[in-house]
């Protein structure tokens, strides 16, 4: 084969690598200077390090292809390395599409709100323990009926095709968890309450490595029923959401789960049947001092959840809950009334709990006061981005940890291409 043709084939791959590198660098530059991405500076440090090392390694392998004499081998190796570039591209696109929703005028407002609700639920227990949390969850929206969390060790639903297996592995291992919210939150912002449950999953995994197994053991022992081991993770997230947003947590579960009576009695996935789930949340609320009749039959299960400890602090202590917020004349009810008025008067929005309490108040305004939902929505869009103290969602892994992760993932990428080292 003519040498110019071989060189042209190699140049196609090198040009693809160079253009991808330019695109990643340009996106990082624009995003670092954009206030809409202020909460995610730590995320970008991780992404930039990992993507740069992967791309550099594949580029060096492409440059070494020039030493191969047989044209067929050149074409084959370029094709294999193009696959590596596709993996980097897919990983880059998977994350940036979620960040870039904040550049969409239709979604920017609700995601500015979601960022504060997630931050409020995420940082709270770490703050109680006096420690800096790891990188916090990235919220985004999709046209889905439900919400879901993708922790650091879960495969996202949109990466379950065989062709995306390697990308899914990288998403699992990168310290950038995500929270997906249904797109109707862009029209009814009080549905951001869903973030309390989903963020609870991330807290469960990251607050203490032993906490998930401790939850399974505690529920099984308290109830004498091994079935609760299957329900432990979702039950923890339900309990956490009650401590974050009060009675509104049960309302949102009932609203999403409501259906024909016969369907409500079936356990689904990791969830208990809906009546059991709601009863447990009611009992958690009662034992946490939020009032209500509770559910005596589930007193031991609720007690097991509230008795969980991380570094010596119980779950209610870690949550920062003040039961008085949800009293008849408490802050949630005062804010609920204010949210029904134009230009509401809302004080102490700078507090760490303010974003989660404000969406709970909005739910109370919509359900109890039978007010104008568009006005409540508009008031949330205006005030939620003002909530909370300054700061990030969490800290990126420091120095060597990030570098080691980048080297490890790059080695995995090259290994998938038939190369056993970074050379």
Query: pLDDT tens, 223-232?
Result: 999 999 999 9
b/e code 251-290 from CB counts within 10 Å (16+ = b) = bbbeeebeeeeeebeeeeeebbbbebbbbbbbbbbbbbeb
pLDDT digits (tens, 9 = 90+) for 377-390: 999 999 999 999 88
| CA 284 – CA 407 distance, rounded (Å) | 45
In this predicted structure, what is the pLDDT of residue 421?
43
In this predicted structure, what is the pLDDT of residue 147?
54
In this predicted structure, what is the pLDDT of residue 423?
37
Question: In whole angstroms, how far apart are CA 380 and each of 204, 325, 328, 341, 364?
Answer: 28, 18, 21, 12, 13
pLDDT digits (tens, 9 = 90+) for 104-163: 999 999 999 999 999 999 999 999 999 888 888 999 998 754 555 444 444 455 665 556
pTM: 0.89
In this predicted structure, what is the pLDDT of residue 175?
86
Section 177-187 average pLDDT = 91
Is residue 420's pLDDT more than 70? no
Section 270-277 average pLDDT = 92
Decide: residue 198, CB within 10 A, 0-12 exposed, 13-18 middle, 19+ buried: buried
Q: Which of 74-88, 119-133, 161-175, 287-301 has the lowest mean pLDDT?
A: 161-175
| CA 283 – CA 346 distance, rounded (Å) | 31
Residue 125 · residue 136 · CB < 8 Å: no
What tokens were used for 1? 């084969």
What tokens were used for 86? 């596709």
In this predicted structure, what is the pLDDT of residue 153?
41
In this predicted structure, what is the pLDDT of residue 163?
63
Is residue 395's pLDDT more than 70? no
For residue 99, give every residue at least 6 positions away whose Cβ sits within 8 Å of its Cβ, in sequence order, or none.
Answer: 31, 37, 40, 43, 138
Show me where the domains of the chain are located.
Answer: 3-102+398-416, 109-386
How far is C-alpha 349 from the chain's CA centre?
23
b/e code 383-409 from CB counts within 10 Å (16+ = b) = bbbebbeeebbbbbbeeeebeebbbeb
Q: What percent of the chain has pLDDT above 90?
A: 69
In this predicted structure, what is the pLDDT of residue 172?
84
In this predicted structure, what is the pLDDT of residue 66?
82
pLDDT band at 259 (very low <50, low <70, confident <90, very high): low
Phi, psi of 277 (to 5 degrees): -60, -45
Q: Which of 147-151, 259-263, 280-284 has the lowest mean pLDDT?
A: 147-151
| CA 192 – CA 394 distance, rounded (Å) | 20
Section 196-225 average pLDDT = 96
């Amino acid at each position: 084969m003519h040498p110019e043709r071989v060189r042209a084939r190699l140049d196609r791959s090198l040009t693809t690598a160079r253009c991808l590198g330019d695109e990643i660098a340009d996106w990082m530059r624009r995003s670092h200077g954009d206030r809409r991405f202020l909460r995610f500076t730590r995320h970008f440090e991780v992404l930039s390090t990992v993507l740069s090392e992967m791309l550099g390694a594949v580029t060096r392998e492409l440059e070494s292809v020039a030493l191969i004499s047989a044209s067929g081998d050149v074409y084959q190796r370029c094709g294999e390395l193009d696959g590596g570039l596709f993996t980097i591209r897919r990983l880059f696109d998977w994350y940036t599409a979620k960040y870039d929703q904040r550049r969409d005028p239709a979604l920017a407002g609700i995601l500015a709100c979601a960022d504060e609700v997630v931050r409020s639920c995420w940082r709270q227990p770490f703050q109680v323990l006096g420690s800096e949390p790891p990188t916090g969850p990235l919220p985004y929206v999709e046209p889905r009926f439900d919400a879901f969390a993708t922790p650091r060790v879960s495969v996202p639903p949109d990466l379950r095709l065989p062709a995306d297996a390697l990308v899914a592995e990288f998403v699992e291992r990168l310290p950038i968890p995500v929270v997906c919210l249904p797109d109707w939150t862009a029209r009814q912002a009080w549905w951001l309450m869903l973030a309390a449950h989903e963020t609870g999953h991330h807290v469960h995994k990251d607050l203490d490595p032993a906490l998930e197994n401790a939850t399974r053991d505690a529920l099984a022992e308290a109830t004498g029923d091994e079935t609760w081991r299957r329900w432990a993770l979702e039950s923890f997230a339900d309990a956490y959401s009650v401590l974050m947003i009060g009675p509104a947590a049960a309302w949102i579960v009932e609203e999403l789960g409501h259906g024909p009576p016969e369907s409500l009695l079936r356990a689904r996935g990791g969830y208990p049947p809906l009546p059991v789930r709601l009863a447990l949340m009611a009992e958690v609320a009662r034992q946490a001092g939020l009032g209500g009749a509770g559910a005596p039959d589930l007193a031991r299960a609720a007690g097991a959840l509230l008795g969980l400890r991380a570094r010596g602090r119980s779950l209610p202590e870690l949550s920062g809950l003040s039961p008085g917020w949800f009293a008849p004349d408490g802050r949630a009810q005062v804010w609920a009334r204010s949210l029904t008025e134009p230009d509401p008067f809302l004080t102490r929005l700078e507090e760490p709990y303010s974003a989660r309490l404000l969406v709970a108040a909005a739910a109370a305004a919509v359900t109890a006061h039978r007010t104008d939902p568009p006005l409540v929505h508009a008031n949330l869009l205006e005030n939620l981005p003002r909530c909370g103290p300054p700061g990030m969602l969490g800290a990126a892994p420091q120095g060597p940890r990030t570098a080691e992760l980048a080297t490890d993932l790059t080695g995995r990428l090259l290994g998938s291409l038939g190369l056993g080292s970074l050379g």
